[in-house]
Chains A and B, each alone.
Chain A
Amino acid sequence: MTIGLLAEKFRVPICIALVLGGWQIIFALGVVNEKYFPSILTIASAFWQMLTDGVVISAWATTFLRALIGLIGAALLGVALAILSDLSPVLSRGIRYVSDVLQPIPPAAFVPMAVFMLGLGTKLYAFVIILVTVWPPYLNGVAALAGVGQVQLNTGRMFGLTDWGLLWRVKLPAALPEIFTGIRYAATLSLIAVIVSEMLAGRDGIGFMIFKKAFAMRTPEVFGLMFLVAINGVLLNGLVNLLRRGLTGWHIRMMERPE
């Protein structure tokens, strides 16, 4: 048990060691051509060189900010739409039609068609991100608001809460954990939407850089940039989790309660 606790405490270093170790073993075995599978050292030095250039930093910031702002907008819009849908079944049905039609369409598909309508600037990114990212928070929100237990609702009514109070004090808190699951998924989607848009229509950002380097066969740089994309994901996820702990700490404590 003590070994277990120790392993759990140092799980991040362990994971990193596993990845790096596994990588170096594959590299040392020489199964893959070195040109396509460079050693960690080569990647690190290429990455460092790009960092000192300064170009990467600005590309990273551009991509991250786009994804973050898009996510915040989409999450707020999604929750607002979910609350409206909870009040009006007709609206809920109507938005459901729209989301059913739009959800199966990948963000990439919107880009080439929207370029002519919206240009290559901020409008394009906002359009693509919101169209793709708004649905997980919305759908989870609708499901969670509808799924609040009768006991909880009746308790709220017994305390004399109005419809508005019931929504704000009972339904929304009860729905938040599930909404956050949606937002977490939306964070990934938002990053995908940004990177794909940058790959297809971009002139800046990490997505654009990755493709440029891949076509120039600069493998170490491609790996380095992918690492940066993953960092973006971790950062975005971390921010969402921080917010989730702040807002739904009671739920997490309930689920992790030691027996």
Chain B
Amino acid sequence: MKRETRIALLGLLVPLAILGLWQGAALLQKTPLFPGPAKVTLAIWSNYPVILRELGVTLLRAAMGFGLAAVTMIPLGICLGRVRILGRVLEPLMDMLATLPPPAIIPLVMLFAGTGDWAKVVIIAYAAAVPLLMNTYEASHSIHPMLSRVARSLHLSRIETMRLIDWPSSLPMIATGARLAIASSLLVSVTSEMLLATNGIGTYLQRSQETFKIDAGLAGIAFISLAGILVNAGVLRLEKKWLFWHYRDQRPTE
């Protein structure tokens, strides 16, 4: 326990050193367009009500997009993974989908759906769909050969195999996909707001640049980061709680 805390404290030196370098560079530059951490902290204090309000809008949108993707892509991924021939044949299609970056569809969605809420939800859902689909597919088709053999030698029925072997063994990877998808829907929600500016934290960043308030913009970025950390930590906690057996097995036996 004591060693853990020492590592955690000593580790703080790395970000502190980076902040120090940044502050030093800012002091050398002496221009308001290159604010250091100190100025950003002040900007956080004076701007936080606006930032929090805009961030709420963004988070709500991200959640809607992710929800839409989760209910459609996890079942689809399992289908493609289990019906081996379907998955193998459609693999290039999935790769194609995976390689079209979400921001590239923003201009297109803008043509179809304008710059409103739904346009952004669609873009976010697309962004979340890719990691969800890929991970669910990978997880349900690359189950270790040994596990299938165990199932066969225990004479498990198809349904039993799915429930007792396939689902638990692919769950950790699906959970990873969901975690990636949540992170990427947060990322893309901000991006879509920057490009299709109406409201939300992305628009706030864009406005800050246009009015040369770089410190306020960086304050906004700090809040995005904080929101991301909190959401990711929450998801990770749920994952550890629900998949405790997976993490228990991963610990090295000494």
Enumerate chain A interface residues (CB-CB to B < 8 A): 4, 7-8, 11-12, 14-15, 18-19, 32, 36, 89-98, 100-110, 112-113, 115-117, 147, 150, 185, 188, 191-192, 195-196, 199-200, 207, 210-211, 213-214, 217, 219, 222-223, 226, 229-230, 232-234, 236-237, 255, 257, 259
Contact = CB atoms under 8 A, between A and B. Distances in A.
B232 A229 contact: no
B93 A109 contact: no
Contact of A93 (B11, B34, B195): B11
Contacts of A255: 142
A132 B173 CA distance: 22
Contacts of A19: 93, 96
B88 A11 contact: yes
Contacts, number: 188
Nearest to B6: A90
A230 B100 CA distance: 5
Contacts of A8: 85, 88-89
B154 interface: no
Given A107-B187, A196-B191, 17 more contacts: A11-B92, A15-B92, A32-B112, A90-B11, A93-B14, A103-B228, A104-B186, A105-B187, A106-B190, A106-B191, A109-B205, A112-B205, A112-B206, A113-B209, A222-B107, A222-B111, A230-B99
Interface of B: 7-8, 10-15, 18, 33-34, 85, 88-93, 95-96, 98-108, 110-112, 130, 142, 145, 148-149, 180, 183, 186-188, 190-191, 194-195, 202, 205-206, 208-209, 214, 217-218, 220-221, 224-225, 227-229, 231-232, 250, 252-254
Given A19-B93, A223-B108, A237-B99, A97 B12 contact: yes
Contacts of A89: 7
Contacts of A200: 194-195
Given A93-B7, A195-B103, A222-B107, A117 B34 contact: yes
Nearest to B193: A108
18 contacts: A15-B96, A93-B7, A94-B11, A94-B12, A94-B15, A106-B188, A108-B103, A109-B205, A109-B221, A113-B205, A113-B209, A188-B99, A195-B101, A195-B104, A210-B104, A213-B107, A226-B108, A236-B99
Contacts of A233: 96, 98-101
Q: Is the interface of A mostly helix, strand, loop or mixed?
A: helix
Contacts of A223: 108
